[in-house]
Each structure stands twice: as structure tokens, then as C-alpha cells.
Amino acid sequence: MLPPDLAPSRPTLPPPPPPPEPRAEIQAYTARAGDSLESIARSFKVSEADLREANPQVFGNVPPALAHPDPQIDPGTALTIPAAPMSALVDEPLDTGFNPTYPSSNSEYTVGADGQTGGGALTWNPGDGSVKLGGSRIATPPGQAETAAVQWEARADTAVTLGQTNKDGNTEVTVEVQYTQSVGVEAGTRTSRGVVEGEASAGAGGRARYKVTLPGENQNPELAARINPFDPTTIPEGASVTLDGQNFVQGELAGSFRHIGTATRVTEAAGASYSVERVDADHVRVTMGPNAAVEAFNGVGLRSDIATAMLGRQDNLGDQAVATATFDLSSADGQAAYAHFVATGEVAHETAGVGDVATIEKLDYASQTRLQLELGPLSADLAGAQNTGAFVRTTYPDGSSAVTMDLRYSGNVPLSVTQRFDAEGVELVDERAYEFELSTDHDVDLSWWDNLLGRSDAEAEAALEQSHAELLNWAINGGATGPAHVRPGETVTLQFSEDQLAALLDQTRTAAAANESGMDALALLAGGENGMLANGTMDFAVAMARNLGGDDYGFAQRLFDISQGADGDLGDRGAVPLDVTIERD
């Protein structure tokens, strides 16, 4: 257990503005120079149709098909503004765009060594496109004998990481700095059954990260070096900058008996994050607030003087509570509000030049298998299967909120669920939405035997992609062709409303009941032998993402099986079209 006085303090964020009083059904507004139907509707978050209907004296009773799409309005014109719907129904849910945990999800390879007074290490992470250079200074108590049963040392470690990688069609350039001071003890004794050894250390330090995201892949990193994160005019359109810093405490324990070893490392951190995105020429979105993180590795394996191999699990938990707003820098009011927000973290939702005001609470979770190997000066930290989850609540000034949940189990298809709540916290169930992203693109590496028979990798890939697309088309359209035709190699998002997913659950139960062989994958999806799911569609969606065999091809096969048995007969060679909306990337 770490000493309480070493626990880092968590910065506090000024409380968000209180929800405004419910607005009257009718509100007066006097048009200003440059106002139009579109600009006023956007400003008050009402539809253009509702604004026209509330002001026939201005826009007339012209049918929408014949009306001017965005008429100019003379300054001084009196308008009636109808009540806007709650923000949760109008605005898209937001995200912070960053994760306060630091461990990488990719494999790392290190060469380094320690001497009596110091050492160094060079680490390469091909997945992150990063290189880390680390150095350490080591001090031992005066007069400590090298043969003493208990060895003490104090360390000061510094590491700098530089990285550049392509992600989601963008280029990410990252600089990370970390400094740690620690005290460690190592002890060992020989018993009649073997040697028992143990190590323990406790330390504290700080870490900071600076990340620039540039639109487009393989961008010149010099573009990132020209950006001033506190001067939005230096940020290209579509680019963003994120800074976060944390203080942390860290504890490590390791032990071995007869070369069977265990290792535990826990890091607790807290700090603050700042992110600014250049939305377009005139607008920037800023997000700022405190964060906290807990990172833990627990492993078991083999330890010896020559080599170490530890197989374990890395768990990371990140927590954020931030404020966000979009500022119009083309206006003096927006510029002043931006400067005030950066300085204090405070923003009023009714300030001129400010929009998209919200608070965001986010919880990130990741659990991953890791294999850590050491052999002399060489070491490797190999990444295995990973489960991830992100839970984000966006709360708007009117008290309504939107919650998004993103889950991915190892290599399975990712699931995203969006829920919307009114100001009293009651979910608007009809607004719930589920999304599964599937790719029919495949990379095939054939065996030497296949190549000997004349099959090429390209031919095998084309055949697999064609088969994958056909499974989806039969499930969605009830046949090989239809209005929602998926092409081989394409990535699509399957979108279900609450009613659509409830219908898919009923079809899954029908298909499972038609299988006389007993328990199968569809029966598990339908809720097991008793067909019960505690939370209905929500549990069903998670089961679709979680169950084994839920990779892109297996997911398409599962939908095909559901459509084949949705009429209660698995042997009639007919398929029932599944009610789903297709969105193409």
C-alpha cells in the first residue's frame, strides 16, 4: 500500500453553469445585420421549418418546396422564436479526444543496461512509430557490501519519447517526457528447498505528453513544430493539439522461489488536460479539465540471473471530468470568451460567440495480455489480446445529456451505443442507437502448398472478400442483391434503433429455437437455455460484440444464420431480410 501522503492531489474544475430556466414557448428576437433564417435557427437551436411557421408575417405562407432556402432578414425585424427541443436531441454527443493513461497497447523492444552509478535504454515501439530514450542515475548507501543479504538503492530515471504514426486517416505526432525518483530494496536467502528472492520499490514523479493530430496521413512533422497550442491561428483547419500532465506515485513488488516468479506494478496518477481543435477558419473547440489514471501490471513466470519471462495482464483505468465549448474567433466576444476560458476554465453558455457548451465525464478502460521478456541487455514487452471500453457522458446547459459506450473485445467487431436522457435523468429509450462496424477487407497469407498449386494471395483475398460480402447481403436483403448492397473489401457500419435491435433479438430467438441440435451460438446470443436477458436489447448488443467468433467474418456469418432461421425453419433455404440501416465509410 502506498503512503497516503504520496497520493497525488487531483485538480478541481470550476462547476459548470447551472441549467437555465425553462424557456417560454414564445421568445422575442430583433434581427441584426447579416441575420438569415439559417443563422438564427442555428443560434437558437430550432429548426428552420419551426422558425418559418412561427413567423408567417416575415416569411409568408409559402410551401417549403417553393420558399427561398435561406432568405436574408432585414435588421430590426421582430421575430418570434419557438422553444427549442432539449440539447440531447439536437446536438451530437461529444468526446474529450484523449485518454489519460500512458501505457502503449503495442509491443515494445528495448536494449539497455545499468551500471553501479547509472545506465541507459533505447526502446522502439513500431506500432506507435515511437522511439524512447531513457537514462538513470543510481545511488547506494555508503559502505554497502555487494555481498550483503539486503541491498538498497535510490534511482532517478528520465525518459523522452518521440513518435509519429498514422491513425484514422490522420497523422499523430507525440512528444512524451517522464521523470521518476524511487527507492528500492532487494533481498534474498537460501533455504533447504531453494533460493527465495524479493524486490520492492516505491517512487513518485511527473509525466507530460504533447500530441498534435494533423489531417491526412504521412504529414511532415515540421507542421506540428510550428503550432502554438495557445494561439489557434497557428493550428491548421482540421488539426488539434492536446497537452496533459500528471503527478504520479508508483509501487513495484517482485519475488521468486526456485525460479518461479511474480511481479506487480501499480501507478496512480492525477493531473489536467487541455485540448484545442481548429474546427474551421473561424471556430475552435477547446476542452479542459482534470484527469486521473490507475495502471497496473500483474504477472507470473520464470526468473533467473540469466533471463526472465513474465506472462500477465496490464489493466488501465482513466477518468476525466472536463468542460468544452466552441468559440467563434471572428467576433470580439468569442475571442474574449476564449481567453477567459483558457485562463479560468469557466464559460457561460449564453455568452455571445460561444456554442456547443457542455461538460464531459469519461471513463476509459483497457485490459490486455502482456508477455515481458528479459535477456541480458535486451528486453521485450509483447502485446496480446486487448479488451477496451469507453463510457462518455455529455451534459448540456439545459440539463439533458447523452451517453455513449464504446466496447471492443479482442479482435471482435466494435460496438457503440448511444443513449439520451432528459433533464431529470430519464432515458428517452426510443432515441437509443446501436452501431457495429464491419470490414470485408482481408489480407491472406497462403501456405506454400497453396502457392504450389497455383493459387495467389490476391486470388484468395478476392474470394474471401466476395464470400464475406455475400453473407452480409443475404442477411440484410434476404438475397444476393438488394438496396443495401455491400461490396467486397468495403467497410460499413450497421446501425440499429431500439425497435430494430429488439426485432433482431426476436429473430435470433426464433432461429435458435429452430435448431433442434440443442445449445449453439444463436441460443447463447438469445440468452442461453431459458432465453432470458437481464437488460434485453442492451445485453443482446453486448453479447453480439463479446461472444467468441465475433470477428468481422464471424459476425457476418452470425447475421446470415439469424436471417436463415428467422422464419422458424432452418432447412427451407429462404432468408428473412434483417431490418438495419447501412452507413458507408
The closest of 198, 200, 121 to 153, measured between CA atoms, is 200
Residue 532 has what pLDDT?
A: 61
Residue 192 has what pLDDT?
A: 60
Least confident of 47-51, 334-338, 486-490, 508-512: 47-51
48-84 b/e (C-beta count within 10 Å ≥ 16 → b): bebbbebbeebbeeeeeeebeeeeebeeeeebbbbeb
Length of the chain: 585
Residue 492 has what pLDDT?
A: 93
For 428-464, the pLDDT digits (tens) are 888 899 999 999 988 877 665 566 566 677 888 888 8
Residue 447 has what pLDDT?
A: 63
Residues 6+ apart with CB under 8 A from 447: none
Residue 25 has what pLDDT?
A: 55
Residue 480 has what pLDDT?
A: 67
Could you tell me the pLDDT band of residue 65, with boundaries at 50, 70 and 90?
low
- For the chain, percent of residues with pLDDT exceeding 70: 87
* CB 423, CB 431: distance < 8 Å: no
Residue 28 has what pLDDT?
A: 85
Residue 8 has what pLDDT?
A: 40
Beta strands at 150-167 and 170-191: parallel, antiparallel or unpaired? antiparallel
Residue 183 has what pLDDT?
A: 94
For 122-135, the pLDDT digits (tens) are 999 999 999 999 99
Residue 43 has what pLDDT?
A: 74
The DSSP line for 237-273 is TT-EEEEEEEEEEEEEEEEEETTEEEEEEEEEEEEEE
Top pLDDT among 299 and 343 is at 299
* Counts of helices then strands in the chain (DSSP H, E): 12, 19
Cα–Cα distance for residue pair 327/285, rounded to 1 Å: 6
Top pLDDT among 543 and 345 is at 543
C-alpha cell at 36: 438569415
Could you tell me the pLDDT band of residue 339, with boundaries at 50, 70 and 90?
confident
Phi, psi of 51 (to 5 degrees): -65, -40
- 546 membership: H or E segment, kind and range: helix 537-546
Residue 496 has what pLDDT?
A: 96
For 400-410, the pLDDT digits (tens) are 999 999 999 99
| Angle separating helix axes 552-565 and 457-477, nearest 10 degrees | 40
Could you tell me the pLDDT band of residue 367, with boundaries at 50, 70 and 90?
very high
Cα–Cα distance for residue pair 48/463, rounded to 1 Å: 49
| Mean pLDDT (the chain, rounded) | 85
C-alpha cell at 299: 504477472
Residue 232 has pLDDT above 70, yes or no: yes
For 374-399, the pLDDT digits (tens) are 998 999 999 999 999 999 999 998 88
Phi, psi of 341 (to 5 degrees): -65, -45
141-150, 363-372, 417-426, 501-510 — most confident range: 363-372
For 248-301, the pLDDT digits (tens) are 999 999 988 888 999 999 999 999 999 999 999 999 999 999 999 999 999 999
Residue 32 has what pLDDT?
A: 87
> SS3 string of 362-419?
EEEEEEEEEEEEEECCEEEEEEEEEEEEEEEEEECCCCCEEEEEEEEECCCCCEEEEE
* CB 298, CB 310: distance < 8 Å: no
- For the chain, percent of residues with pLDDT exceeding 90: 47
402-416, 475-489, 500-514 — most confident range: 402-416
Residue 527 has pLDDT above 80, yes or no: no
- 58 membership: H or E segment, kind and range: helix 56-59
Could you tell me the pLDDT band of residue 320, with boundaries at 50, 70 and 90?
very high
Residue 306 has what pLDDT?
A: 86
Residue 24 has pLDDT above 50, yes or no: no
Residue 21 has what pLDDT?
A: 42
Residue 515 has pLDDT above 50, yes or no: yes
C-alpha cell at 145: 557490501
Residue 1 has what pLDDT?
A: 36
Residue 13 has what pLDDT?
A: 41
Could you tell me the pLDDT band of residue 3, with boundaries at 50, 70 and 90?
very low
Which residue's entry shows cell 497453396?
450
Share of the chain residues as helix, strand and coil, in percent rounded to the nearest 5? 20, 45, 35
Residue 575 has what pLDDT?
A: 80
Which amino acid would we find at residue 98? F
pTM, entire model: 0.81
Residue 17 has pLDDT above 60, yes or no: no
